[in-house]
Structure 1
Amino acid sequence: MKTLLFTFILFTMGISARGTEKRIITSDGIDLYVKVKGEGTPVLYLHGGPGSGSFWFEKFFGEFMEQNFTVIYLDQRGVGRSTGDKDDDYSMERMALDFEEVRIALGFDSWLTIGHSFGGILQAGYASLYPNAHKGMIMVNGTLSLVDSFCNSWGPKAAEFTGKNSQFPCDTPENIKANLGAHINNLREQDLFWKMAFREASNEKIVDATINEVPGWNWNFGSLALDQESYWKDYRGFTREIKVPVLFFYGDQDWMVGPEHYKGINFPNMMLWASPGGHFPFIENKEELEASILAYKTNYVL
């Protein structure tokens, strides 16, 4: 367990019906945007993307979460309303330390985390470095291995949808990133990208539009995350060591992560919840997701 020796600065921006907005300055000088809202057990939202931010989650699923938990909405360093540029440290170790500095600044002894998509990688890395910070974990359509998700679901499905680039080399992260970019271009050219994550094309537009509601969106982490070696680690084997209760919610049509990704995951204390849907249940399958979280809360959360 690491010892934390740091100085942080916390500024409260305002308290209103929107919740308490704060700026937390990390030990290396990054200005993090944080909002705290709701009542009950604290839960930190770890967004995916990488680089998608916390705004859309608050907008589309915040009301339910805030009725059941104290929710900490965080824009990770280099994302959204937080600072960070290409010269900053975006390693897993630094991200996990950010989360710890936020937790301590807010005065929580421990908390839950809820992660979506790439947020699953961040949850696992955080839990491996700071296990005592966790009461439990809620994983919503989360990946624990980028290689498995890209090579066994993302790439093959994109090739099927577009009829192009059926070869998807998985020998190195560099080749995976190159072919991922090619697939994205093919999907965009044919206006098919929505099929990777949504059941309806209109819902992709709804999610994408939220970015325009936040002026000056910071994209630095999103553009650099896959260059970090630490995010290519396969955390599926590590799941055996995570003793806290875990809700693992997945979609049987989630081609971004993979509908069979769960088969390599072995949390000892896991509630596995299969959902008929894609990558964004916050919009397309809210009732099912709400039911799973309430069941998890009833059975596991004090």
Structure 2
Amino acid sequence: MFKAFLITLSLLLCLNCSALLAKTNENPLPKPYGQGTYIKSKFGQIYFEADGEGTPVVMLNGGPGAARTIFWGALDFLKPHGFQIIYFDETGVGRATRKIPEKFSPTITVEDIETLRKHLNVPKLVLAGHSYGGIPAVQYALTYPDRVENLIMLSASADGVSQQMNVDAAKYLRKTFFPQKWEQLESIRAKGLLTSSPEYMKAFYNREIGNMSDWYDPSKRSGLRKYRSRDKRDGSNLNVYFDMAGLDPEVKISGTLKNVVIDETMFKNFNIPTLIINGRKDWKTTPEMAYRFYKMLPKGTATLKFLEHTGHWTWAEQPEEFAETLTQFLTTKR
């Protein structure tokens, strides 16, 4: 499930801030990372960074509540083929407006994507949703089908049902393979605490379990991020997570995602070429989840590809196969 990266850089508490900042500036992030554009939106502003020229490929963040920085550089291989990579912070995450007067939901993200498309002044987008990001990607494709050139589901959930499948897989993993840890978590719940409580969340996140749930080969973990942000504006937003998943998110999805449910009847006239690419060893977005969505789509619409030696982060564990799969899909469908 969602990884709450709560580590921040406490520059203001540092006795030698100027020296640290000077060192940071010796190796600034290359453009466009951290040097993007704000767009006026319903609740304030959204934010994006564009890299390359051509058809925009919009990366949609996971979590829910995570920001765009995890994707920096991950799709560089598409730029020589006439694609522009868009790193996007929708309402609630990253550098976009993070506080709004209503609960966060995928519906807000759908309209944020449309606002982005209008700003880019393009007739169609390629949408690439990773993990939770697949849910607003699918909802946008259903709402504005004539404005999507291709849909790419990267180890992605498709709706609230698949997000619950994600939760159930995580529970099974802990209970079956880490019984001592599961017993500790159950003892916290026995106190009447929800899984959103600080005590539960602190016990829930565990490097060993995370390696098993996320990775086929945990040694590849260090290569996940091509670049790292030192800006606290790029941190995750737990309020988005709890609004969408509910206050007991590691047991039952009960937030705004609960009623986001799809079935095959919604895709009768769906003709957007779709790539579903998933890690065979992914305990978050399981192969079962990917196959469920694949079966909903009309015959001939979707391509389903399992990368056999990856977990949740396909581009980090099998980069060559990942790049070849996406490049072939996008260039042959034009």
TM-score (norm 1): 0.79
* Maintained 8 Å contact 1:139/1:248: yes
Determine the structure 2 residue equivalent to 1:225: 244
Q: Secondary structure at the match of 2:233?
A: coil
Determine the structure 1 residue equivalent to 2:173: 157
Task: From 246, 268, 284, give the equivalent of 1:256.
Answer: 284
Determine the structure 2 residue equivalent to 1:6: none
* Maintained 8 Å contact 1:143/1:257: yes
Deviation sequence 1:191-249 (CA, Å, 0-9, x none): 42222112344554665896652333353324433237442323353455532000000
Determine the structure 2 residue equivalent to 1:283: 316
Check 1:64–1:95 CA distance in 2 against 1; reply closer, same or farther (3 A cut).
same
Number of residues of Structure 1 aligned to a counterpart in Structure 2: 276
Counterparts of 1:210 and 1:222 in 2: how far apart (Å)? 24
Range with greater deviation from structure 2 (261-270 or 275-284): 261-270
1:41 is displaced (CA, Å) by: 1.9
Check 1:294–1:182 CA distance in 2 against 1; reply closer, same or farther (3 A cut).
farther
1:102 is displaced (CA, Å) by: 0.8
Q: Secondary structure at the match of 1:279?
A: coil
Indicate the RMSD between aligned Cα atoms, in angstroms: 3.2
Q: Secondary structure at the match of 1:150?
A: helix
Q: Secondary structure at the match of 1:158?
A: helix
Determine the structure 1 residue equivalent to 2:90: 76
* Maintained 8 Å contact 1:39/1:66: yes
Task: From 188, 196, 214, give the equivalent of 1:197.
Answer: 214
Q: What are the equivalent positions in structure 2 for 1:1-302 lying under 5 Å apart?
A: 17-18=31-32, 21-26=36-41, 28-59=42-73, 61-68=74-81, 69-85=83-99, 87-144=101-158, 145-151=162-168, 153-163=169-179, 164-165=181-182, 178=195, 186=203, 188-189=205-206, 191-204=208-221, 207=224, 213-220=230-237, 221-227=240-246, 229-232=255-258, 233-237=260-264, 238-265=266-293, 266-268=296-298, 269-276=301-308, 277-300=310-333, 302=334
* Maintained 8 Å contact 1:80/1:214: no
Counterparts of 2:84 and 2:233 in 1: how far apart (Å)? 27
Counterparts of 1:194 and 1:236 in 2: how far apart (Å)? 32
Counterparts of 2:281 and 2:196 in 1: how far apart (Å)? 22
1:273 is displaced (CA, Å) by: 0.6
1:154 is displaced (CA, Å) by: 2.3
Higher strand share: 1
Counterparts of 1:236 and 1:178 in 2: how far apart (Å)? 29
1:82 is displaced (CA, Å) by: 1.5
Deviation sequence 1:50-108 (CA, Å, 0-9, x none): 1221112023x142233331112101211112122153452222211111011001101
User: Structure 1: where are the runs of 5+ without partners?
Assistant: 1-15, 169-176
1:115 is displaced (CA, Å) by: 0.8
Check 1:107–1:209 CA distance in 2 against 1; reply closer, same or farther (3 A cut).
closer
Counterparts of 1:102 and 1:141 in 2: how far apart (Å)? 24
Check 1:25–1:43 CA distance in 2 against 1; reply closer, same or farther (3 A cut).
same
Counterparts of 1:141 and 1:236 in 2: how far apart (Å)? 19
Counterparts of 2:302 and 2:199 in 1: how far apart (Å)? 36
Counterparts of 2:31 and 2:38 in 1: how far apart (Å)? 18
Check 1:131–1:106 CA distance in 2 against 1; reply closer, same or farther (3 A cut).
same
Q: Secondary structure at the match of 2:119?
A: helix
User: Structure 2: where are the runs of 5+ without partners?
Assistant: 1-29, 186-193, 247-253
* Maintained 8 Å contact 1:253/1:278: yes
The one-letter code of the counterpart of 2:332 is: N
Q: Secondary structure at the match of 2:154?
A: strand
Range with greater deviation from structure 2 (17-26 or 71-80): 17-26
Larger radius of gyration: 2
